[in-house]
């Protein structure tokens, strides 16, 4: 694990169908602001166009709004579905955000998770990963070279294409490719020497594939002459944290059932297999399967350590999946509790204050005695001075 593990959020987002979308999007922005104040490192924003729950259609537009509301947190596209877009325009928009944010933007790419999105624009699921590879290769050429790009397939026709703005970040902003369970994401990330965004890290298939994913990245990097960095490997998993397990269980009754029903019967996303018929069963499934944590800070820390062991060498960032299992206030408290009680253990801030306390406790008796003697000596000196003046 990195000496200073970064913490962040992966926001699809997930909202109950029928909710006020204007207010839901405002809650999303306010949550990013909250994380910025708490000292979180990153927030990744998704792109979806169907199925009624994941309401952000353009992570770039959302990020542009969040830039103006935040000061420190980095904001990433998690992810842009490259098979849907002309790669030249994607590169142009990311570079523009890089300038607007003064280097706080990150670029995450994927094939597109919801088949109902691709269906509306005539893209077959069998083509999305190929289109991702073709688009990502073009975007990397545009970002890292000033040579024009000419390319044509059934979706795009680029003719001597080049960027008219170079990135603000030097040498380049963070770039990641999404991965769930298959090797397609790490294969592409290793080829180009970029980071990996493991959105299915805690799912059964994704958890089992963690060490394999890194092996694929290293193999591809060696073959193509690139380098890969574990610090740019980000693992995603759902969390709801409270002071006690009982409180955490009570709080998620607010919305966990809607989230489960979305994956059980609406979203055609077979990697997300979740089981349970009522809120209690669903909560138990989260904890017993290891897909996430509903409980205390100690349980969250144990989950991170479990993922560290499974990764067989460590990773650079732990991203908590945004959801509305609990109401907005409890959700904010969950992120605050993680910031207060979990992050210090993985960022080098826990032991120094504990050790300083132990050192002070060990010498307290002697130093307190010396302090008392010094006070008494000064009192005696003052009384002697008064007597001398008398």
Asked if pLDDT for residue 206 goes beyond 90, the answer is no
Judgement on whether residues 167 and 189 belong to the same structural domain of the protein: yes
pLDDT of residue 26: 98
Q: pLDDT digits over 269-285, tens only?
A: 777 889 999 999 999 99
Do 264 and 367 have their domain in common?
no
pLDDT at 3 over 90: no
Q: What is the CA radius of gyration of the chain?
A: 25
Question: Is the pLDDT at 181 greater than 90, yes or no?
Answer: no
Residues 128 and 255 placed together within one structural domain of the fold: yes
What is the average pLDDT across 140-160? 97
- Measure the CA angle with vertex 181, ends 226 and 270; round to 5°: 145
Task: Say whether 151 sits in a helix, a strand or coil.
Answer: strand
CATH of the domain at 100: 3.20.20.30
Mean pLDDT on 80-89: 98
Position 268 pLDDT exceeds 90: no
Q: What is the mean pLDDT of residues 262-267?
A: 94
Q: Of 316, 331, 348, which residue is a domain's last?
A: 348
315 and 365 housed in the same domain: no
At residue 235, the pLDDT reads 96
Mean pLDDT, rounded, for 31-45: 98
Q: 203 pLDDT band (50/70/90 cuts)?
A: confident
Same domain, 72 and 184: yes
pLDDT higher than 70, residue 1: no
Residue with more model confidence, 101 or 2: 101
Q: Is the pLDDT of residue 2 over 90?
A: no
In this predicted structure, the answer to whether residue 37 has a pLDDT above a threshold of 70 is yes
Q: Specify whether 339 is located in the same domain as 221.
A: yes
109 and 160 part of one domain:
yes
* 3 state SS of 55: coil
Decide if 1 is inside a domain.
no
- pLDDT score at 29: 98
Q: Are 279 and 250 in contact (CB under 8 A)?
A: no
- Residue 298: phi and psi, rounded to 5, are -60, -35
How many angstroms separate the Cα of 316 from the Cα of each of 167, 181, 188, 233, 287?
24, 19, 19, 5, 23
Q: Averaged over 114-141, what is the pLDDT?
A: 96
Run of H or E residues at 373: helix 350-389
User: Same structural domain for residues 41 and 86?
Assistant: yes
Q: Same domain, yes or no, for 229 and 364?
A: no
Residue 264 in this model has a pLDDT that exceeds 80: yes
Who's near 197: CB < 8 A, 6+ residues apart?
10, 44, 78, 79, 108, 110, 176, 177, 178, 179, 185, 234, 236
- pLDDT reading at 17 higher than 90: yes
Is 379 found in the same domain as 285?
A: no
Q: What is the pLDDT of residues 316-352, one digit of tens each?
A: 999 999 999 999 999 999 999 999 999 999 999 999 9
Query: Which comes out higher in pLDDT, residue 1 or 163?
Result: 163
Is there a single domain that holds both residue 173 and residue 319? yes
Total domains in the fold of the chain: 2
Looking at the domain assignment, is residue 160 inside a domain?
A: yes
pLDDT reading at 262 higher than 90: yes
Q: Is 65's pLDDT higher than 70?
A: yes
- Residue 389 reports pLDDT greater than 90: no
Range of the domain at 74: 6-348
Query: What DSSP element (H or E) covers 198?
Result: strand 195-198
Q: What is the mean pLDDT of the chain?
A: 95
So what's the pLDDT on residue 202?
84
Are residue 263 and residue 375 in the same domain, yes or no? Answer: no
Residue 23 lies in a domain: yes
């Amino acid at each position: 694990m990195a000496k200073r593990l970064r913490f962040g959020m992966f926001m699809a987002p997930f909202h109950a169908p029928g909710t006020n979308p204007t207010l839901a999007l405002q809650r999303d922005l306010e949550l990013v602001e909250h994380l910025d104040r708490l000292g979180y490192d990153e927030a990744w924003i998704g792109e979806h166009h169907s199925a009624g729950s994941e309401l952000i259609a353009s992570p770039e537009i959302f990020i542009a709004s969040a830039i103006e509301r935040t000061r420190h947190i980095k904001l990433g596209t998690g992810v842009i579905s490259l098979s849907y877009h002309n790669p030249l325009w994607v590169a142009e928009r990311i570079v523009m955000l890089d300038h607007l944010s003064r280097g706080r933007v990150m670029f995450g790419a994927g094939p597109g998770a919801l088949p109902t999105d691709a269906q509306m624009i005539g893209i077959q699921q069998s083509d999305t990963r190929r289109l991702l590879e073709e688009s990502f290769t073009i975007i990397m050429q545009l970002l890292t070279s000033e040579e024009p790009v000419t390319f044509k397939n059934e979706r795009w026709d680029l003719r001597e294409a080049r960027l008219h703005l170079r990135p603000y970040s030097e040498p380049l902003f963070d770039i990641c490719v999404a991965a769930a369970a298959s090797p397609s994401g790490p294969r592409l990330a290793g080829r180009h020497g970029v980071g990996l965004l493991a959105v299915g890290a805690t799912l059964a298939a994704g958890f089992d594939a963690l060490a394999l994913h890194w092996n694929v990245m290293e193999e591809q990097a060696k073959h193509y002459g690139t380098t890969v960095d574990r610090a740019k490997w980000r693992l995603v998993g759902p969390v709801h944290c409270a002071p006690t397990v009982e409180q955490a269980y009570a709080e998620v009754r607010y919305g966990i059932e809607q989230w489960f029903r979305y994956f059980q019967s609406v979203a055609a996303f077979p990697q997300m297999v979740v089981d349970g018929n009522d809120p209690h069963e669903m909560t138990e499934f989260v904890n017993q399967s290891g897909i996430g944590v509903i409980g205390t800070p100690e349980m969250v820390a144990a989950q991170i350590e479990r993922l560290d062991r499974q990764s067989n060498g460590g990773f650079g960032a732990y991203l908590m999946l945004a959801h509305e299992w609990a109401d907005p206030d409890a959700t904010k408290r969950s992120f605050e509790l993680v910031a207060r009680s979990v992050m210090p253990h993985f960022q080098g801030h826990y032991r120094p204050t504990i050790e300083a306390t132990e050192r002070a406790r060990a010498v307290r008796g002697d130093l307190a005695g010396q302090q008392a003697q010094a006070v008494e000596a000064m009192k005696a000196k003052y009384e002697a001075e008064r007597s001398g003046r008398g």
